[in-house]
Structure 1
Amino acid sequence: MQINPSPTPHNSDDTPRNWLDVAIVRLGNVLSLMFIATALISFYEVVMRYAFNAPTIWVHETASFIGGALFIFGGLYAFATNKHVRVVLLYDAVSPKSRLYLNLVHHFFGLAFSGMLAYAAYFTMEESWFAPWGDLRLETSGSVLNAPYPALLKGMIFVALCILVLQMILHLIEDISRLRKSQDV
């Protein structure tokens, strides 16, 4: 199954390039509904606080957690839909074949960088999930709610970085394949 039938090596639209990108986009479309949930619980907090003088202890932390989780996933979504940051002044000024080489460089260094970040995130996650003696003990916020949101977010960062590494590998493989095809022509 070829997802992007475009003959140019530059994927200029937001069409997902492989099965992982497709899955990320589909999940992202579902997760985007969480922004509505965040707005609703924030509205609930405002009504409870100002209309009934009964503020909640859970809304602020929960809304921050949901926003943080969506922000983490947003990086994967941006890469899957080709909406990530790039220096377009240079990128758009070169030929499609040169763009392919720039993509190779980008994905190679992106793979190295995301791999190192995933490695570091593992230790951060491990420290927030386990006590020094090895027992499972999720780091909590230390607030009145004392939810394990910090540990959960650190776990999500690690998982997202591992997925980003896989995304980089798949994009790198695709670009190498496109480069080989362009040299055969």
Structure 2
Amino acid sequence: MPGLSFMLPHWLYLVGLIVFPAIAMYLARRPRPAQRRYSSWLGYMILFTGGIIGLHRFYLRSLLGIVFIPVFVFILYANSAGHDARSNVSDFGNRADIAQRVIDREGPRVEAARANLPELEAAVAASEEGSFSRLSAEKKVARAKDALSTGAAKLEEARAVLAEMRPLAEKAAATRAYWNNAARYALYVLLALLAIDAILMPILVRRANAGINDEEDDTSPDPALEQVEGAESSETDARRADNFIDRLSLFCGEFVAYWCVIAVFVYYYEVIARYVFNSPTNWAHEGMYLMFGMQYLISGAYAMLTESHVRVDIFYAPMSPRRKALIDILTSVFFFIFAGTLMATSWIFAMDALAVPTGNGLLSDWARGQISTSEMLSRFDLGQFTDPAIRWGELSFNEWEVPLWPMKWAMVVGGLLLLLQGVSKIGKDIRTLVRG
């Protein structure tokens, strides 16, 4: 079965965290067409991501997508059988190797004991009855005979195991090769089907659009309902985004929310690479939990703005708006202690991540205080990003070695957003308390 050795480049990982949400936000905010239409770009995206199980065909209302499913299931079964055969090859091979080592170790010992036994017996016969030398010689003979019998038994057992394991290992190796070839050829069939559908995609899209019944499949909303929804949406946005800070928190929250979609694609790739190509990655899990850590921090201001944090409000909920504002103002001191501590601690972590001794870039020199800010900015160029010999700061400890300093600086950004949102919140509370 062909393997995958792809390792996500660091720059692509970091750029993807910025570019993908920007594209997703643009697509999500496009005007919705009055009539549902199938698109080629979406068809190609589904073919690329889920074509191995025929999802692009189902998207285009073609039942021929069923053809892909048994081929994909067969690949999974063949890989599973090949994995079991590989385990058997390893198990039988290890047992055969152990038996061979026993033979190599015990064989010379048995031969040496057999060769020394006549000499030891002659020493017993030549010694005087009841003497110390005779007793010593008899013990040596007994030990030699015991070693001879024990070694012979071990040799016999090892030879039996070796004779049994070698054919089993060869059979398991043949089985493994068979299932690997079967999975490989099935994959070639699947890739050929995908290539054909990639060529036919424009035709399939036109056929699907031609089959849309304008009367039954018209998805244009009712004008009255659209007007009500638009009014509610405008009212909600106006309530949540009173100022620039609120709009910034909303934007950042929506921006990092699309990172969840990235996780879907990455874990989908990990599953396919692991179970179809037997090539698990060393970057998917680490990249995603680092991404979710940054998402958790940056979305804190959004959660505060939309009141999405978990809280016990048995006494708070029934209060009037003015009393709620008063309680919020009185308890805001605890919030600002937390936000200030988070901001200060995050700044220390971020600077330490850049100032590690292994960092040899301009940013690391700046973080260590070796150069000034103006000198760092004047000397900064594209080579700081493209030169593989330059390391900006702290790296992860696995083989991927992704830079960790962006994650530490995301803590600073999250703390700053949370602090700004707290300022906006207390301003609203003061206004509510004064105006009622």
Q: Using structure 2 for the length normalisation, give the TM-score.
A: 0.36
Q: Distance in 2 between matches of 1:181 and 1:79?
A: 23
Contact 1:141 1:148 in 2 (8 A): yes
Range with greater deviation from structure 2 (64-73 or 39-48):
64-73
The 5 Å alignment of 1:7-46 reads: 15-46=240-271
Higher share in helix: 2
Per-residue CA deviation, residues 116-173 of structure 1 (Å, 9 max, x unaligned), is: 2211221111111113671684211111001013x22211111211121111112112
Question: Is 1:167 aligned to residue 392 of structure 2?
Answer: no
Contact 2:241 2:247 in 1 (8 A): yes
Name the aligned partner's letter for residue 395 of structure 2.
T
Q: Displacement of 1:17 after TM fit?
A: 4.2
Q: Residue 281 of structure 2 aligns to a residue in which SS?
A: coil
Q: 1:102 to 1:86 in 2, by over 3 A?
A: farther
Contact 1:72 1:160 in 2 (8 A): yes
Name the aligned partner's letter for residue 100 of structure 1.
A
* Residue number in structure 2 paired with 1:144: 399
Q: Distance in 1 between matches of 2:338 and 2:255?
A: 28
Indicate which of 57, 75, 93 corresponds to 2:300. Answer: 75
* Residue number in structure 2 paired with 1:87: 312
Question: Is 1:123 aligned to residue 340 of structure 2?
Answer: no
* Residue number in structure 1 paired with 2:338: 113
Contact 2:266 2:284 in 1 (8 A): yes
Q: Residue 89 of structure 1 aligns to a residue in which SS?
A: coil
Per-residue CA deviation, residues 64-100 of structure 1 (Å, 9 max, x unaligned), is: 2222121212212201212223331110133332111
Q: Displacement of 1:38 after TM fit?
A: 0.8
Name the aligned partner's letter for residue 77 of structure 1.
Y
Q: Residue 91 of structure 1 aligns to a residue in which SS?
A: coil
Structure exhibiting the larger radius of gyration computed from Cα positions? 2
Contact 1:125 1:154 in 2 (8 A): yes
Q: Distance in 1 between matches of 2:342 and 2:406?
A: 17
Q: Residue 401 of structure 2 aligns to a residue in which SS?
A: coil
Contact 2:252 2:298 in 1 (8 A): no
Per-residue CA deviation, residues 95-116 of structure 1 (Å, 9 max, x unaligned), is: 3321111111233321232012
* Residue number in structure 1 paired with 2:275: 50
Q: Distance in 1 between matches of 2:426 and 2:344?
A: 20
Fraction of identical pairs, as percent: 25
Q: Displacement of 1:174 after TM fit?
A: 2.1
Per-residue CA deviation, residues 11-66 of structure 1 (Å, 9 max, x unaligned), is: 9xx83443222222233223322211111111101111111112222212211222
Contact 1:16 1:22 in 2 (8 A): yes
Q: Distance in 2 between matches of 1:60 and 1:87?
A: 34
Higher relative contact order (CA 8 A, sep 6+): 1
Runs ≥4 residues deviating over 4 A: none
Q: Distance in 2 between matches of 1:93 and 1:81?
A: 18
Question: How many pairs align?
Answer: 170
Contact 2:273 2:280 in 1 (8 A): yes
Provide structure 2 residue ranges, at least 5 long, that are not aligned to the other structure. 1-234, 358-364, 371-390
* Residue number in structure 1 paired with 2:433: 179
* Residue number in structure 1 paired with 2:386: none
Name the aligned partner's letter for residue 155 of structure 1.
W
Name the aligned partner's letter for residue 292 of structure 2.
G
Q: Distance in 1 between matches of 2:331 and 2:242?
A: 16
Q: Residue 82 of structure 1 aligns to a residue in which SS?
A: coil
Name the aligned partner's letter for residue 170 of structure 1.
S
* RMSD after superposition: 2.4
Range with greater deviation from structure 2 (156-165 or 24-33):
24-33
Q: Distance in 1 between matches of 2:306 and 2:435?
A: 23
Q: Distance in 1 between matches of 2:322 and 2:423?
A: 20
